Structure 1
Amino acid sequence: MLSHNIKPPSSSSRTSEVYKVLRQDILSGRLSPAAKLLIDEVSQRYGVTSTPIREALTQLVTEGFVQKIDQKGFFVAQVSRRELIELTNTRCWVESIALREALANRTPQWEEQLILAGHRLSRTNRSADPDVFQEDASWEDTHKQFHMALIAACPSRWMLEFCALMTDHAARYRYLSMSLAYPARDVTNEHKALTDAAIDGPPVRAIEMLMEHYRTTADIIVGSNLDLPD
């Protein structure tokens, strides 16, 4: 069993580190959907005691990545076609508002950061192998930074935090399907066109493009032969 051997010096930092690594293992699919998370086994996997494991799992329950069932314990949250559609619809509803507000409150600094984030994303490989998908963790981080930069001028901290959480849930579906769907589209040009629309085009066009971007992702995942329960 893979062990990350996490040994930070303090209890709070240990919990934080366990949380980050456990969360990433769920997002990337290294911990499979619906897998039972036995405290002793998880403690052995990450090389820490049960206390930070329980604290990290409790935090992940609040974010929807882990499910706690009475009398049964903790499980990696399940994925489903229905949830993916619901997630995609909710992202479109919420981020259309966030992007509209961001564009209404744009600043030169926002524009500079968006261009920089787009450039970084264009220079980051989607896969470590151009022919067969091999996870490149830096792409997901850079991709999230781009999408958050797009709406960063939105004046609602609550909305931005919710958008960030939905972005991570969507990333989980991409990780699970990517080996089946890669390469299915030219995301570099999509992100470039989205940047141009946000900076130069009317807001309604940028919003339409962002919604299309998210719905295309969901369609590709559904069509990727990923075994998604209904």
Structure 2
Amino acid sequence: MNIAQETLSDRAHAMLRGDIVSGRLAPESRLRIAQLSETYGIGASPLREALSKLTSEFLVLFEPQRGFSVAPVSADELRDISRVRCELESEALHRAIEAGDDAWEAGIVAAYYALSKADTRRKNDPSEGSDSWEDKNRTFHEALVAACDSPWLKRLRSLIYYQHERYRRISLTNPDPARDLQAEHAAIMEATLARQAPEAIRLSKDHIDRTTQAVLKVLPA
């Protein structure tokens, strides 16, 4: 594969993953190469490579004779994903707290500040700020575990994060007005920076569980 084609494949992967996670490509919808090529302006070969990678990430299914389709969603899968995410996030956060230095702490504070600004924009204009908020939210949670000394743990955590984000976005159509996400993020940050690992892990698990319960309320049967 040449460099240009690899770049196109990476671009196709990023765009497809973003559209699947955001719900713009609905669960179980067929992914036809010709239609995707027209939509994204990318050739068939890079698209097939991107779809193959997304299959390995469990966001896309491939069936002989039927081709590619967006992976389905279900309440049982969400519960399983949430349990696994809690375990991976907890271990990664614990390791990060043990190994983190001043630069790690500064990265968390900077990510939280950016997330706070995005949260304000989202509240002022939900239609314009949701994607930006999701990006900043992902960056904040990545900053919390950035000092984790296990590359494989971080890779697996990143894989499950996108799966959970895909479900979380389903609940955006019916948000819980009583929930203060920024307060939850602030509490996790403060416990993490204070190196209070048990409390930070407890708050992180509670944060994930509350999101899961919110999604379950609106998840289609």
Tell me how far apart the structure 1 counterparts of residues 213 and 137 of structure 2 sit (CA, whole Å).
19
1:38-76 CA deviation, whole Å, 9 max, x = no partner?
Answer: 111111211222111111100110111100012211000
Matched residues, percent identical? 34
Match of 2:113 in 1: 119
**Stretches of structure 2 lacking an aligned partner (at least 5 in a row):** none
Structure 1 residues 53-72: aligned runs within 5 Å: 53-72=47-66
Contact 1:132 1:179 in 2 (8 A): no
TM-score scaled by structure 2? 0.92
Offset of residue 26 of structure 1: 0.6
Match of 2:36 in 1: 42
Structure 2 counterpart of 1:17, from 8, 11, 14:
11
TM-score scaled by structure 1? 0.89
Match of 2:88 in 1: 94
Q: Which amino acid aligns with 1:188?
A: Q
What SS class does the counterpart of residue 68 from structure 2 fall into? Answer: strand
Offset of residue 181 of structure 1: 2.2
Offset of residue 142 of structure 1: 0.8
Match of 2:22 in 1: 28
What SS class does the counterpart of residue 31 from structure 1 fall into? Answer: coil
Match of 2:137 in 1: 143
Match of 2:147 in 1: 153
Change (3 A) 1:72 1:34: same
Is 1:202 matched with 2:202?
A: no
1:145-191 CA deviation, whole Å, 9 max, x = no partner?
Answer: 11011111110011111111211111111222201225451101110
Contact 1:92 1:214 in 2 (8 A): yes
What SS class does the counterpart of residue 10 from structure 1 fall into? Answer: helix
Contact 2:111 2:143 in 1 (8 A): yes
Structure 2 counterpart of 1:81, from 67, 72, 75:
75
Match of 1:186 in 2: 180
The number of equivalent residue pairs is: 219
